[in-house]
Amino acid sequence: MDRNPKPEIEYAAYNEFLSLWGQGRFDQQRFGQAFYNYFRLQKLGDQSYLSGLYEADGKKAQAVILRLFEIK
């Protein structure tokens, strides 16, 4: 049983992000960086669990996102 449940991101919001990513709307950003900025994760008080997300790109970033967040 998880003591600290994963933060949730709405499936529709994640799909909107993916759509914008596919359109090239995050010019010059890595995937993890774009996700971090799009969902304004800088506003979260505890940044420690986000370690590695901002720097990650491609499939690595997607794996980090799925490990850290519950997409519902």
pLDDT classification of 60: cutoffs 50, 70, 90: very high
pLDDT classification of 61: cutoffs 50, 70, 90: very high
Cα–Cα nearest to 30, from 60, 5, 4, 68: 60
Q: How far apart are CA 32 and CA 55, in angstroms?
A: 6
Q: What is the total residue count of the chain?
A: 72
pTM above 0.75, yes or no: yes
In the chain, domain spans? 8-71
Q: How far apart are CA 71 and CA 62, in angstroms?
A: 12
Give yes or no for residue 67 having a pLDDT over 70: yes
Q: Is-contact 49 68, C-beta < 8 A? A: yes
Give per-residue pLDDT as tens, 6-36.
Answer: 899 999 999 999 999 999 999 999 999 999 9
What is the DSSP code (8-state) at residue 35? H
Percent of the chain clearing pLDDT 70 (strictly above): 96
